[in-house]
Amino acid sequence: MTSMGFCFSASVHPMRVPFAGRAGSGCMGLVLFGIYLVCMLPATAIAQAYPCPQGPGPGEQQIGMSGGTHGIAAVPMCVDAGPRHGGQVAYPTGPAPVHTAHWVFAVGTTADGQSAYVLAADPVFAEDAEALLFRRCDAAGVRGCSIVRRFESGVFAVAQAADGGYVHGVYPYPQLTSEIRHRKKAGKQAGRAIVEACAQQTGGPCKLKEIRPSNEWSGYDR
């Protein structure tokens, strides 16, 4: 079930720069490689590029190889991949996003002709969520399952009208761990809103059937 978070990444494609010259000109290869870095890398990477003979360590990213030739071995070149603290990588301390999933909601009927609904979710693939939904329909004995809603974030709420039909909707829901204290209130608001919407649309009393935040997919993924 998407959320806003912070992500820092770098994607400089490593390239090897061939250099041909006379014996003893290996140092010139390193110089030209440095010029290449100046031309090709972002300014932030240029300022921090340095040899890392043992390969990238914690908080480092390899961006290429030095131009080794004529007896001078090529050496990995690295840049800082993020801020450090105490010799270790210090990851951003902002709000952490809550993992969400791909959800599908379908309605159908039971063997005795009663209305029924089925929910299914997959944390990775939307098509897998749909395939799982129909398996869950079969397992629950719900016939003629028809997908009527897909969602990936928010809180899903469904109410049942007096005639057995369903009214459903997706409402705002705090998706960040820093907003956990607001989730219970958001769920209650979604429940009240869907019951009111159901009553307005059907002209009769409605019953709240389920409130399901998009990040609470465990149990609906199998």
Helix H, strand E, coil C: the string for 51-94 is ECCCCCCCCEEEEEECCCCCCCCCCEEEEECCCEECCEECCCCC
Mean of the pLDDT values across residues 170-174? 90
What's the DSSP call for residue 97?
B
State residue 76's pLDDT score: 75
pTM exceeds 0.75: no
The CA distance from 144 to 157, in Å, is 22
What's the rounded mean pLDDT across residues 182-194?
93
pLDDT at position 77 is 73
Domain residue extents for the chain: 1-94, 102-213
- pLDDT at residue number 97: 54
pLDDT of residue 64: 72
Residue 1 pLDDT exceeds 60:
no
Local structure of 106: helix, strand or coil: strand
**Please, how many CA atoms are within 13 Å of residue 104, restricted to the half-sphere of its CB?**
21
Q: With contact defined as beta carbons under 8 Å apart, do 37 and 12 qualify? A: no
- 17-21, 50-54, 111-115, 214-218: which range is least confident on average? 17-21
Residue 55 backbone zone (phi > 0: left; psi -120 to 50: alpha; other: beta)? left
Q: List, for residues 83-125, the tens digit of each pLDDT value.
A: 433 334 333 344 555 568 999 999 999 999 999 999 999 999 9
Average pLDDT estimate for 156-184? 89
Amino acid identity of residue 108, one-letter, is G
* Greater model confidence, 14 or 111: 111
d(Cα 64, Cα 62) in Å, to the nearest integer?
Answer: 6
109 in Cβ contact with 144 (< 8 Å): yes
Residue 69 has pLDDT above 70, yes or no: no
What is the pLDDT of the chain when averaged over all its residues?
73
Q: For residue 67, what are the CA distances in angstroms to 21, 74, 85, 137, 141?
A: 12, 6, 32, 61, 67
Percent of the chain with pLDDT over 90: 49
Q: Rounded to an integer, what distance in angstroms lies between the CA atom of residue 42 and that of residue 187?
A: 45
Give the residue-averaged pLDDT of 135-150. 96
